[in-house]
Structure 1
Amino acid sequence: MLKTIFPAALILCLSAPVLRAQDLPDYVGSGQCAACHEAESQSWQGSHHQLAWTEPTADTVVADFDGTRFQNDDLTVAFSKDAAGYHAQITESDGTTTMRRVHSVAGIEPLQQYLFETEPGRLQSFDVVWDSEEKRWYHLYPDQSLPVGDGLHWAGPYKNWNARCAECHATGYEKNYDPATRSYASTQAEIGVGCEACHGPGSAHIDWAETGKPVEIPGVDAFGLTMRSTADSEGWIQQCAGCHSRREAFGDGNPVPGTPYHDAYRLMMLTPDLYFPDGQIREEVYVYGSFLQSKMYANGVSCMNCHNPHTAQLVAEGNAVCTQCHSEAGNTEFPSLPIADYDTPEHHFHEPGSEGAQCKNCHMPTQTYMGVDARADHSFRIPRPDLTPITGAPDACTNCHQDQTPEWAAQQIEAWYPDSDKRGPHFGTVFAQSAVDPAGALPDLLKIAGDEGQSDIARATAMYLMGAAADQQTARATAPLLRDDSPLLRAAAIRPQRAAPPQEQFQNLLDLLSDPIRLVRLSAAPDLLRAPVASLPPRIAERFGRVAGEWQRSLGNRLDFPETHLVLGGTALTMRNTPAAIGAFREAVTQDPQLLDAWVMLVRLEASVNGAEAANAVVEEALQANPGQPDLMAMQRELQQ
């Protein structure tokens, strides 16, 4: 049985060696690059990349620590500085007071955040931050009242810098979490996003510069760089996306620059918790998932067509960023681009120079995160206020014209563009329907999944949204996408196969064990674990075990995430390993006492293994962490009957 092929040790997810930066050239630091690349280095100095993470000094700290205070109903903070550094005296809602020294600084504008080392090696990002434009302290979550010990408290697992933030604020970062002691021994080559964060470790490149001899090291180009100098626009987009996306990492820290995106990360889909049904940004998703929806991406536009990667600034001011291509001159790099004058009232129907005449305000509407940080949607969509009544998504028109309705805006656009072909069917209406009627939306979700005219991320999301409504016909209709050229689609097509008969599902997924892309292999592994196969030929069993080990290591890199232990608990139950399941759910609630799903599973397992009395003890423990929680109280009443 599969249970013997994948022993209980799999559930423990002990890490095994994987390829890291030390197997390649060494990191040398951005200072080593400046001698030859002076202009680029000067551009980088003072950029948001360089200042993504810094030591606290008079040059980097922009907040007022000179005896200032912050106070709300639950928290009081007194800020100070002296020869030993910058400090915050924090009085929590329970009355406890601690003095914290600022370990380091994150960012520069429009806000700056401060990190505290709460125990050796463990860094936590504080919720009271500095608004660098308004020059004030403010709380990131003013409507939350979080006691010490809550998973979302600033000292909890979800605000842990080592696990949640550092890899995108550092160069050559390795998290090095020890699950046995729940401690960190994190390292990095350089804090801040330095040259080698994008180009790769530089020692072999320096050797090339000194000798002129082509470098002959596996995994690097002739110039000694892991991010190859011949990389095309797609390669650079994927390199930027490693940090500029909402994703789940497979490794322990930074992948070596040049690693294909889908070998390093699982991209989050256009799910209702992150995006509006039409694909507009809802939560902070860091650009890539939006950009993949755009016609600009489909036609070869890259990040660097609009952004200078060294200054991290736009390449031009205002509409000039857009009119470098969208103009009567056009751009020979993109021959399919329509030649027309877009920066004119005949196109935007607003006063020249006004806010309504700015391309970004209509085609890149913003959402504000962290209180003051307005982020632009990078799907570059044509405004569709006609969809808003169906999808509930915001529309760019009434973002400005707040005294008007989406219906009014739709009428205006139809009057301006009476013959437009841009108001046809949109996946957003189907995604909105799937939230309330998954079965009813299923036929249209299948059409979107098979529509090559849609973006890959929209097609992949359609398969994700099929969920429990999928049936055998759905599984068979999506099975061809398991062999699509797009790794995003191959991975997404795995989910609907759960509706296939077990043997058919197993046969459909078996070839994915040899897929060249890690995302696809790791997406197939947990589904294949569930397959009711009594035995496997040795060749397939060996391949199966190799991918299971790869999946094991990936989970092992995230053992400081409470949600990982939910996955482990569910997998243990699939393999009928009840003790491992109990251990996994127990670790989940140890890390996050408010993780209700884990408490519920613990109660049920205790009831089945040790009886009602043991289960009731777990319910009482859960209620201490979650007083008055209705689901737990209902379970308690049921156990006491």
Structure 2
Amino acid sequence: MSLGCHKTKQEFPSRITINAQYVGRERCKPCHENISAQYIGSDHDLAMDFATDATVLGDFNNASFNHLGVRSKFYKRNGRYFVFTEGDGGVFQEFVIAYTFGARPLQQYLVEFPDGRVQTLPLCWDARPKEQGGQRWFHIYGNERILPDDMLYWTKISQNWNYMCAECHSTNLKKNYDATTGRYNTTWSEIDVSCEACHGPGSSHVDWAESEARGEDTQRYTDMGLLIRLKDDHDEAVTWVYDKKLATYKPGTTQRRQKEIEMCARCHSRRGVISEEYVHGKPLLDTHYPHVLEENLYYPDGQIRGEVYEYGSFLQSRMYRSGIVCTDCHDAHSTRRRKEGNELCCSCHQAEKYDSREHHFHKPNSAGSHCVECHMPARTYMVVDQRRDHSFRVPRPDLSKKLGVPNTCNDCHTDKSPEWSLGYLQKWYGQTKKERHYGEIFWAARRGIPGTDVELIRLVEDKQLSPMVRATAISLLYTVPDKESAPALGKMLQDPDPLIRAALVTSLDILPRNDRLPFLLPVLQDPVRLVRTLAARSLAAVSSDFLTKAALWQREAVVREYEETQVLNADYPATLINLGNLYLERGDFDRAIASYKKAIEIEPAFIPAYINLADVYRLRNLDEEGRIILHNALEVAPESAPVHHALGLLMIRAGEYKGALHHLRKTTMLAPENVQYSYVYGIALNSLGMSEQAVSVLRRTLNRSPYDRDLLVSLATIHRDRGEPEKALQYAVRLTKNCPGNSSYQQLEQQLRALAAHQRDKPDGRN
């Protein structure tokens, strides 16, 4: 029986229209003239276009722009648009502008190369009015100079339209990357985000409409021939219930248009693509891999930090849990808000209560009286593009004090402290007792604070919480590893939300491979591609001796499917690392080496490929070849801590201890926040007879990471071996206090207590 196969009509709709084809917006227009008029000029309409006089907003009238010594020129010739700027290798040359990209508040420009690559220029046009600082050229990285050998340089893969941007700016896009030739043949049905990007291929709907117009029987069509019907019958009749206590209207059901949210999330989320075979109405995770609330993308409390778009925020919100969907606030066709200002919020939240000074305590029409300023903080991306957090949170200055996160009070009152803001909130709204925020638990987990695993499990098991919060809690369990929690997690693999199931599959990597089998074998039959392929990846290296013939066949079939999800993005070096790691774990050294070498070929600045390649050579007892690879990496990135770390370990294996210590010490200087580097350096010092220096390094690191188990164990054992059981015992006691259920730590403490007592009993206090 497959785990996690909870098929409901809403999650896995049965509305399948056979052989539907893309027909283009012009076929839609005759019946939907009003909607078509709303669409023209919308953000979706302007998402991408050919560079023409009608679409280009920037100044190409022999304009010039200087950015940190790089002077670029913009001009027209024979009806075409050009830029003369720095290209590959820092060589200045002329480039043709092939496409415009977006329109407000900025417009980007795309350059097409002979191999089918389309690259995004870093030079953008600020389309805002002049009085707002616009109508100027600017560089997408502000005052940062991106050198030609940097992965972020505009001709590199990180600024490649085919891989990074294309799917969300055009309709029915197929990347069509040929890994053998390294060429793209990217295609689309329509250049921008048109009707069928959201509604699905429309040929069957057109057939239905024409059949109905002729008076023919249309019963053979499901849902009017639509592949996905975004306006469900129950939405037309949805009852909005007034909550008297909250003075707010809510949908009578929370089960509204989940497929609409996931359809929007296809582009309005931070995610990766695992399949181009997108079927409208199927689960998002069948084709995409959304990011959870990762540390570099979100603040600990879930506020937006990096460029993450709206999905990850919205899934945290009370709005989402109440059944609110995207189109309750946004008009899907004009892409504008349904109402402006507080009027939009007061569609549901009673104006007399919420749009009043008694609620917001600010002057009418001031910034503090606007709902979004307090509940939807804005962050600026791409220099000029302000985007609002969609988690609709209450300001929490107390979390700013605890976690160092922003809060909307101090976003405005920049000259005041979080304590000042908190004082006013308590004065206005009273001293409210708050449960521990999930952000506090995430913050503690990332620092390895003892007991956090229990709190994470509590979050995972709380089905009243957002699936995004629960999935993040699952992903953080690796920071506080406790194999005892694995069975509890395994039982949750039947959760109806595929985001939870996918996170759970990955979390079980804390178990030895064979111990994962009972949990993950059934998941190989999960109906959602991401979930089952992650399970196959986790089980890929399990020996066939532990599998039945049927299980082996199933595992191999889904491993091949996992490979397909990676090959789709074989133009990106990190994906080639994934493939190489898969092959390496399965003992296929040649294919692993080929994958890592291909990653280096595609992007010479991608350092993990060098390190993994050197590691394969280590496994094959070819460390000297690995040494060459690592020195090549240092030529590309001389200040790369991971390379120095790998080289230091290689030199220890070769008996070159002085050189090894040089590289290992350098890692601690280049990446002082990395506990592992300092730990390895300390252990290396101790193993070479320099225990005093080792203790000094490890103690300094422990001050930064006071709960790290490896540091505590190493300090305890080093002091023990130095004949200092009393000092060793201090660290062992901390270990057992932090990890009371760990028998090996308890044995270490008992041993050290006995040694310390024995030493105290000696007349001279010596052993």
Fold agreement, TM-score > 0.5: yes
SS in 1 for 2:561: helix
> CA separation in 2, counterparts of 1:549 and 1:439?
40
Encode CA deviations 1:495-522: one digit per residue, 9 max, x unaligned: 3323345444210111111222222212
Q: Closer, same or farther in 2 for the Cα pair 1:431/1:635, shift >3 Å?
A: closer
Aligned partner of 2:472 among 447, 455, 461: 461
> Are residues 501 and 616 of structure 1, via their aligned partners in 2, closer, same or farther at CA, if it must alter by over 3 Å?
closer
> Which of 330, 337, 359 in structure 1 is aligned with 2:371?
359
TM-score between the two structures when normalised by the length of structure 1 = 0.90
Number of paired residues?
606
In 2 relative to 1, CA 343–230 (structure 1 residues): closer, same or farther, beyond 3 Å?
closer
Is 1:547 aligned to residue 542 of structure 2? Answer: no
Aligned counterparts of 2:194 and 2:88: Cα–Cα separation in 1: 39
Q: Secondary structure at the match of 1:341?
A: helix
Give the stretch that moved more between structures: 601-610 or 613-622: 601-610
* Alignment correspondent of 1:303: 326
| Structure 1 CA distance for aligned equivalents of residues 510 and 593 of structure 2 | 28
Deviation digits for residues 163-182 of structure 1 (CA, Å, limit 9, x no counterpart): 11010000011000000111
SS of corresponding position for 1:71: strand
Counterpart of 1:632 (choices 636, 643, 646) is 643
- Determine the C-alpha separation between the residues in 2 that align with 1:358 and 1:500: 50
TM-superposed deviation, 1:200: 1.0
The whole-number CA distance in structure 1 between the counterparts of 2:580 and 2:307 is 28
Q: CA deviation at 1:436?
A: 1.6
On the 8 A contact 1:221/1:228 being kept in 2, the answer is no
Equivalent positions of 1:517-536 (< 5 A) are 517-536=528-547
User: In 2, are the aligned partners of 1:150 and 1:593 still within 8 Å (CA)?
Assistant: no
CA gap 1:580/1:617 in 2 versus in 1, 3 angstroms: same
Give yes or no for the alignment of 1:291 onto 2:291: no
Partners of 1:77 and 1:556 lie apart in 2 by: 37
**1:604 aligned partner:** 615
Deviates most, 450-459 or 346-355:
450-459
Shift, 1:129, TM fit = 0.5
- Shift in Å, 1:601: 1.8
Q: Distance in 1 between matches of 2:541 and 2:32?
A: 53
Deviates more, 1:272-281 or 1:595-604: 595-604
Cα distance, 1:215 vs structure 2: 6.5
The question of 1:242 aligning with 2:237 is answered: no
Q: Distance in 2 between matches of 1:240 and 1:629?
A: 39
Compare the two structures and name the one with the higher helix fraction: 2
Question: Which residue of the partner structure matches residue 174 of structure 1?
Answer: 174
**Inter-partner Cα distance in structure 2 for 1:417 and 1:272:** 31
SS at match of 1:270: coil
Identify if the C-alpha distance between structure 1 residues 546 and 468 changes in structure 2 by more than 3 Å, giving closer, same or farther: same
Match for residue 588 of structure 2 among 577, 582, 594: 577
Q: Distance in 1 between matches of 2:401 and 2:493?
A: 35
Q: How does 1:210-229 map to 2 (within 5 A)?
A: 210-212=210-212, 221-228=222-229
Cα drift, residue 420 of structure 1: 3.3
Change (3 A) 1:513 1:611: closer
Residue 272 of structure 1 is matched in structure 2 by 295
Structure 1 segments unaligned to the other structure (5+ residues): 1-20, 329-339
Structure 1, 124-133 or 540-549: larger mean CA deviation: 540-549
Partner Cα separation in structure 2 for residue 448 and residue 350 of structure 1: 36
Equivalent residue in structure 2 for 1:475, among 486, 498, 501: 486
Q: 1:143 to 1:602 in 2, by over 3 A?
A: farther
Partners of 2:268 and 2:46 lie apart in 1 by 16
* Aligned residue number for residue 199 of structure 2: 199
Of the structure 1 ranges 25-34 and 294-303, higher mean CA displacement relative to structure 2 is found in 25-34
Q: CA deviation at 1:539?
A: 2.5
Mapping of residues 398-477 of structure 1, within 5 Å: 398-421=410-433, 423-437=434-448, 439-477=450-488
Q: Is the 8 A contact 2:107 2:124 kept in 1?
A: yes
Aligned-pair distance for 1:22?
12
Partner SS for 1:313: coil
Closer, same or farther: CA 440–30 of 1 in aligned 2, 3 Å: same
Is residue 334 of structure 2 the alignment partner of residue 322 of structure 1? no
Give the structure, 1 or 2, with the largest relative contact order (CA under 8 Å, sep 6 or more): 1
Question: Any conservation in 1 of the 2:84–2:93 contact (CA below 8 Å)?
Answer: yes
**Percent identity (aligned):** 36
CA distance, structure 2, for counterparts of residue 607 and residue 189 of structure 1: 48
Cα distance in 2 for residues equivalent to 1:594 and 1:69 = 30
Match of 1:614 in 2: 625
Moved more, 225-234 or 77-86: 225-234
Aligned-pair CA distance for 1:440: 4.4
Of residues 198-207 and 610-619 in structure 1, the stretch that sits farther from structure 2 once superposed is: 610-619
Letter in 1 for 2:528: I
Aligned with residue 401 of structure 2, among 372, 383, 389:
389
Amino acid paired to 1:34:
K
Amino acid across the alignment from 2:475: Y
Separation in 2, partners of 1:214, 1:125 = 50
Deviation at 1:540, TM superposition (A): 2.1
| 1:69 aligned counterpart, secondary structure | strand
Stretch deviating more after TM superposition (430-439 or 271-280): 430-439
Would the aligned equivalents of 1:92 and 1:147 in 2 still touch at CA under 8 Å?
no
Query: How far 1:627 moved relative to its partner?
Result: 3.4
How far, CA to CA, are the matches of 2:295 and 2:444 in structure 1?
12
Give the deviation of 1:494 after TM superposition: 1.7
User: Using the alignment, how far apart are the partners of 1:386 and 1:149 within structure 2?
Assistant: 43
- Paired letter, 1:262: L
Counterpart of 2:111 (choices 109, 113, 116) is 116
Q: Mean alpha-carbon deviation: is it higher for 141-150 or for 315-324?
A: 141-150
* Aligned counterpart, 2:28: 33
Whether 1:47 and 2:70 are equivalent positions in the alignment is: no
SS at match of 1:243: coil
**Alignment CA distance shift 1:473-1:305 (3 Å):** same
RMSD across aligned C-alpha pairs, in angstroms?
Answer: 2.2
Q: Which whole-Å deviations, capped at 9, do the CAs of 1:348-378 have from their partners, x for residues lacking one?
A: 1101111100000000001111011011000
User: 4+ residue runs of structure 1 moved beyond 6 angstroms?
Assistant: 214-217
Q: How far did residue 425 of structure 1 move?
A: 1.2
Q: Does residue 77 in structure 1 map to residue 75 in structure 2?
A: no
The residue aligned with 1:187 is 187
Deviations 1:225-284 (A, max 9, x none): 2122554521211111111011111113x7233232122211100010110010000001
TM-score, structure 2 normalization: 0.76
Note the C-alpha offset of 1:606.
2.9
Superposed CA offset, 1:380-431 (max 9, x none): 011111111222211010000000111111111111111535x331000111
Q: Which residue of structure 2 aligns with residue 6 of structure 1?
A: none
Counterpart AA for 2:197: A
471-480 or 496-505, which moves further after superposition? 496-505
Which of 92, 99, 111 pairs up with 1:97? 92
Following TM superposition, by how much is the alpha carbon of 1:452 offset from its aligned partner in structure 2, in angstroms?
Answer: 2.1
- The AA in structure 2 aligned to 1:375 is R
**C-alpha separation between the residues in 2 aligned to 1:215 and 1:150?**
58
- Quote how far apart the aligned CAs of 1:186 are: 0.7
Structure 1 contact 502–532 (Cα < 8 Å) conserved: no
Partner residue of 1:15?
A: none
Equivalent position of 1:4 in the other structure: none
Q: Does 1:148 align with 2:148?
A: yes
- Structure 2 letter corresponding to 1:194: S
C-alpha displacement of 1:42: 0.1
Question: Deviation digits for residues 432-484 of structure 1, max 9, x if unmatched?
Answer: 11222255422211111112232111111011011153222110222221111
Deviates more, 1:65-74 or 1:372-381: 65-74
Change (3 A) 1:454 1:106: same
C-alpha deviation, 1:139, in angstroms: 0.7
Q: Secondary structure at the match of 1:493?
A: helix
Between structure 1 and structure 2, the one with the greater Rg is 2
Identify which range, 514-523 or 343-352, moves more after superposition: 514-523
Uncovered stretches (5+) of structure 2, i.e. residues with no partner: 1-15, 129-133, 233-255, 657-767
Which of 508, 517, 520 is the equivalent residue of 1:506? 517
**C-alpha distance 594-415 of structure 1, shift in aligned 2 (>3 A):** same
Counterpart residue identity of residue 286, structure 2: D
Tell me by how many angstroms 1:214 deviates: 6.5
Alpha-carbon separation, structure 2, partners of 1:556 and 1:23:
28
Residue 55 of structure 2 aligns with which residue? Answer: 60
